[in-house]
Structures are given as structure tokens and as C-alpha cells.
Amino acid sequence: MITAYHRPRTLKEALSLLARPNTYPLGGGTLLNRPSLEQFAVVDLQALGLNKIHKNGNNLEIGATATLQALLDSQHIPPALQETIRLETTYNLRQVATVAGTLVSADGRSPFVTAMLALDASCTVFSNQYSVIILGDLLPYRTETLHGKLITKIEISLNVNLSYESVARTPADRPIVCAALAQWPAGRTRLVIGGWGKSPTLALDGNEASGVEAAARNAAQDAADEWGSAEYRSEVAGVLAKRCQDRLNENKTSYLIR
């Protein structure tokens, strides 16, 4: 239950308020507005101007409070990232759910976080000064790392080819297994497997794409839960990784023909 509401005008004021006990940042409110017996205060971030999406050279700078729908509507993001945003949640929730809020609260079944981790997204964080934290370093320790801090923007490279594949009970359902494969022009390749646990798993980060199937299977070898066995996930992860790789190769061929 929300018992107090604050709307600061500066980052320092917001951090001062968030230092109080039982006080949480309010972005889209998709989680904090849910019924709860806990009494807490919220700090509304809307007045801080953190909702801009800006292309800077080959990078895209995404304000922390930009909504998922605003990012989906951006002309700059790759089709595979658009697909993961559509799969992340419904249209109505995409209108209010923020990018930073989704990264901080999502679990391992998040298509969007799986893709952002493959893209090696970085987060600019403000405390008394600005610092940059790679998303892969942030996800395992989100609560501890962000205590007394605020994400102000997220940055991804646009000079990357991205593909995404998933298996779910229905086309619109959360994935039982999913894979995102990102490849840079110089050959760097990152493969992320999701569908279980607290956050997706980085399966491969190397200078070439060889071995993606084996890396995917290894990443899911202990991925048993109520949604699927480890054996099933391991086998499917390898198949999805191969599909991602094939799709990237098709895109390259299409580009060369044009």
C-alpha cells in the first residue's frame, strides 16, 4: 500500500528521498501499484526528464523512464529487439512499463532482457556521481548494486546484428526456452539463453560464432523447473541457437545480394 508520494525535480532530491526507509522509485508503476500489505512511500521519477530516446552515432541512448512502447516505436531498434518487446508484455502495459524498471524487475523468462543482455547493454547509474555498469554485471546483484542509486539511461550499439528465437506454450506466452544471438561487424558474438531462473544466462561471448549450439546446450544443462526439464531445455536451446545463427547468416547473404 502506497502511503506517501513524492515527485522530485532533481536527481539529488530523488536520491535523498530514496534513502529513507521503505521508499521506492516509481517509474511506470506496474509493480508498485499491485495490491500489497506492505506500507511504503514512492518517488515519482517523471519530472526528471529521463524518458528520452536518442541516437548518438552508432549507439542508442535510452532514458531510464522511457516506456517499452516508446522504444518499440523507435525507428532505430532492430526488428529482433522489437519482437522481444512485443513478447514482453501486453500493449496496455507497454504504455507504462519503463525500460529500466523492466530490466531491474524482470526474471530469466524475459525476452526483452535476454535480447538486451545479448546486445551487451550498459546502464548509466547516478549516486553522488555517474558511473557505467554493464547489464551483465548488474543483473545478478540488482538489489545490492542499485541501493541508493538510480539508473538514468541504458545504451546499446546499433552496429550489431541481432536474432531471437523462442519456444512457448502459445505464441504470446512467456518462453520456456529462448535464445538471442548478437554479432558485431568485427566478429564478436554473444549468445544468451533464457526461460528460467532469476535472469537469462550468457552462454557465449567470443570472437566468432562457432560452437553456439554446444554453448547453448551447456548453458541450460541445470535449467530444470516446473516449466521444463533440464534435458528438454538443453536440447531446445541448441536448436534455437542454430536457428538464430542461420537467421543472421541469411541476413548477411541478403545484404550482399542487394
3-state SS assignment for residue 81: helix
Q: Identify the CATH number of the domain in which residue 198 sits.
A: 3.30.390.50
Residue 212: pLDDT above 80?
yes
Q: Identify the CATH number of the domain in which residue 31 sits.
A: 3.30.43
Report the domain count for the chain: 3
Q: Are residues 16 and 116 in the same domain?
A: no
**Which helix or strand (DSSP H or E) is residue 188 part of?**
none
Q: Are residues 197 and 222 in the same domain?
A: yes
Domain end among 157, 183, 209: 157
Phi then psi for 235, rounded to 5 degrees?
A: -65, -45
For residues 2-26, one letter each, b for 16 or more C-beta atoms within 10 angstroms of the residue's C-beta and e for the rest, the string is eeeebebeebeebbebbeeeeeebb
pLDDT at residue 153 in the model: 97
Q: Average pLDDT of 2-26?
A: 85
* Structural domain of 37: 2-46
d(CA 168, CA 166) in angstroms, rounded, equals: 7
Sorting pLDDT into bands at 50, 70 and 90, what band is 201? very high
Domain end among 106, 133, 157: 157
All residues at 6 or more sequence positions from 242 whose CB lies less than 8 Å from its CB, including other chains: 212, 213
Q: What is the pTM of this model?
A: 0.91
CB 84 within 8 A of CB 72: no
Q: Are residues 18 and 89 in the same domain?
A: no
Q: Are residues 179 and 235 in the same domain?
A: yes
Q: Are residues 77 and 146 in the same domain?
A: yes
pLDDT at residue 17 in the model: 87
pLDDT at residue 258 in the model: 28
pLDDT in tens, 159-188: 999 999 999 999 888 999 999 999 999 999
d(CA 40, CA 89) in angstroms, rounded, equals: 26
Q: Are residues 126 and 32 in the same domain?
A: no
Q: Are residues 106 and 139 in the same domain?
A: yes
pLDDT at residue 257 in the model: 30
Q: Are residues 144 and 226 in the same domain?
A: no
pLDDT in tens, 73-118: 999 999 999 999 999 999 999 999 999 999 999 999 999 999 999 9
Residue 253: pLDDT above 50?
no
3-state SS assignment for residue 202: strand
Q: Are residues 152 and 200 in the same domain?
A: no
Q: Are residues 66 and 148 in the same domain?
A: yes
Domain end among 157, 172, 187: 157
Residue 155: pLDDT above 80?
yes
Q: Average pLDDT of 56-62?
A: 97
**Residues 212, 214, 215, 216: is their CA dihedral positive or negative?**
positive
**Nearest of 37, 43, 44 to residue 1 by alpha carbon:** 37
Q: Are residues 142 and 54 in the same domain?
A: yes
Range of 35-39, 42-46, 190-194 with top mean pLDDT: 190-194
Q: Identify the CATH number of the domain in which residue 71 sits.
A: 3.30.465.10
Q: Are residues 7 and 68 in the same domain?
A: no
